[in-house]
């Protein structure tokens, strides 16, 4: 038996997934040593990214074939619009950032991929595009929280708490379960192309944010 489609998709791109979730910028957040300038640049891009991410989730909700799917995706959307976007803007304000800066090429390309897939595809394709972000951040949050106590730097500690707190893992599980429910093994190659592209963009986003302040 092949196993859940979500696990197969993640396993196929394991090297890129590991590079994203174990990125040097992630390690510095966990240690509480990430320079404020790097964090500021990250939030300048991420606030805008998340707004398009929310739009992509809304497009996928329009394809939902059941009340259960609508419920899960609505929770997913609320996590972004009611928790993560306000938190990102709060971080940005405290760090003295500018929400109106132009999107870097990596961030722009990632948002276009999400919006295009969500608009053209069905529920399975949309979730395959969306999940690498939600799923990898949940893994990062849990890994950093399990590695030790909260770092002394308040920005790093608050960021980790966003993705390691009660309920986030449950939402990730509900989202991956939804993909497994509506994605058939016969579509594995198609969905892998979508999922892998999002995972590569996750890594590119970390590289962009970290490299802009680290040469």
Catalytic residues: 133, 202
CA atoms within 13 A on the CB side of 150: 14
The Cα 128–Cα 199 span in angstroms is 10
Q: Are 110 and 204 in contact (CB under 8 A)?
A: yes
Residue 113's Cβ-count burial label (10 Å; 0-12, 13-18, 19+) is middle
Q: 3-state DSSP: the chain helix, strand, coil percent, rounded to 5?
A: 80, 0, 20
């Amino acid at each position: 038996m092949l196993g859940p489609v979500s696990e197969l998709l993640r396993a196929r791109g394991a090297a890129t997934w590991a590079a994203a979730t174990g990125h040097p910028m992630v390690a510095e957040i966990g240690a509480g040593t990430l320079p404020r300038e790097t964090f500021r640049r990250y939030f300048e891009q991420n606030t805008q990214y998340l707004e398009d991410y929310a739009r992509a989730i809304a497009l996928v909700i329009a394809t939902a074939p059941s009340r259960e799917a609508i419920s899960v995706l609505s929770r997913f959307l609320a996590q972004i619009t009611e928790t993560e976007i306000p938190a990102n803007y709060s971080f940005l304000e405290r760090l003295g950032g500018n929400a109106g800066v132009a999107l870097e090429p990596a961030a722009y390309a990632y948002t276009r991929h999400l919006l295009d897939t969500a608009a053209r595809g069905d529920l399975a394709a949309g979730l395959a595009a969306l999940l690498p972000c939600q799923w990898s951040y949940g893994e990062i949050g849990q890994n950093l929280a399990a590695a030790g106590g909260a770092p002394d730097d308040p920005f790093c500690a608050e960021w980790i708490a966003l993705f390691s707190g009660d309920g986030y893992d449950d939402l990730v599980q509900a989202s991956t379960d939804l993909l497994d429910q509506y994605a058939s093994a016969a579509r594995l190659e198609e969905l892998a192309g979508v999922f892998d592209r999002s995972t590569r963009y996750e890594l590119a986003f970390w590289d962009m944010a970290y490299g802009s302040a680290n040469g």
